Amino acid sequence: LDDKYKDYYEAIRRAEDNYVECEAKGCGCYNNVISRDLRPFRDGIDENLINSAKS
């Protein structure tokens, strides 16, 4: 591994080691993340938005 990214690799490894999958079904654990991710599209998706995503 490239030494300049060593800290990042270590942080990723720790995060993966400590990850606990959510067992709850039908909960709103990720509602805020989904809402934030979809916010740019609240007014709809037009051709300009699609073209900007392609570049």
Determine the Cα–Cα distance for residues 41 and 48; give it in Å rounded to an integer: 12
The predicted-structure confidence for 2-53, as pLDDT tens digits, reads as follows 889 999 999 999 999 999 988 888 888 888 999 999 998 899 999 988 888 8
Residue of 43, 42, 40 whose CA lies nearest to 52: 40
- Give pTM, 2 decimals: 0.44
> Higher pLDDT residue, 6 or 54?
6
Contact 25, 18 (CB under 8 A): no
pLDDT for position 35: 94
> Higher pLDDT residue, 55 or 42?
42
**Confidence check: pLDDT of 1 > 80:** no
Q: Where are the domains of the chain?
A: 3-54
